[in-house]
Amino acid sequence: MSIELLRRETRQDHQRLEDRLDIHARCATARSYRRLLERFHGFYAPYEAALKRSASLLPDSLHWESRVRLPRLIDDLAAMGVPARQCERLARCPGAPRPETRAEILGCLYVTEGSTLGGQIIRRRIHEMYGSEAPPTAFFEGYGARTGSHWRALCAAIDGALLSPTEQEAMTRVAQGVFRTLETWLCDESPHEEFDA
C-alpha cells in the first residue's frame, strides 16, 4: 500500500480529530495545557510499552529507539509540577493500541509519527501565545531537526513493506482506530478538567 492511499483512507478520521481538538483552548492556561500533556501521557505510556514488545518486527531503518516520545512528556510534566512518580498514577487510555503484527505497527506509527509534524506547529503556536513565559514543549518538538527525516523514513518503510491485501486492510483499519481513540481520549472531556490522580 502506498502512503498516499493510506493518507486518503484516514483523511476523514484525521480531520475530525483536528477539528475537535481545540488546541488554542487546551493551551490557553497552564492548567489546561498540563491537562493536555497528562492525557497524552495516558495514551503514550501503554502505547509505547506495547510497541517496545513488538519492536523486533520493525525494519532497522526506522531506528525504533530514537522514536520514543514518553520521556519528553515526563520531562515536560515534571517542569510543570507533576513528578515522575505522580505520572505513574495518571489515568491510562483504555483503548491505547497494542499492535502485534508488522501491519498493525505501521498503521499505528503512521498516526503517531505523523503527529510529530503537527506537534511542531503546535509548539510554535504555544510560543507565540506565551512568548518568554511559554511552558515546556519538548514533547511537541518531536525529534527536532530530525523530525522530517524520521517521517520520510516511515513513509518509505510503508511504501516498501510489500504487505498482502489483508495486511494492508489491517494497517488501514488500525490507523483509523488510532485516530478515533485519540479523538475520544483527548476530546471527550473539558480542557479545564482538574488533575485527579
Of 142, 150, 144, nearest to 119 (Cα)?
142
pLDDT of residue 58: 86
Q: How many CB atoms lie within 10 A of CB 160?
A: 10
CB 142 within 8 A of CB 118: no
Q: Dihedrals φ, ψ of 49, to 5°?
A: -65, -40
Please name the residue that has the C-alpha cell 491510562: 92
Q: pLDDT tens digits, the chain, 197 residues: what are they?
A: 689 989 999 999 999 999 999 888 899 999 999 999 999 999 999 999 999 999 899 888 888 888 999 999 999 999 999 999 999 999 999 999 999 999 999 999 999 999 999 999 999 999 999 999 999 999 999 999 999 999 999 999 999 998 999 999 999 999 999 999 999 999 986 544 443 33
Eight-state DSSP code of residue 68: -
The model carries a pTM of 0.92
Domain boundaries, the chain: 3-187
pLDDT of residue 192: 47
pLDDT of residue 190: 55
Q: Dihedrals φ, ψ of 156, to 5°?
A: -65, -40
All cell numbers assigned to 176: 483509523
CATH topology of domain 3-187: Heme Oxygenase; Chain A (1.20.910)
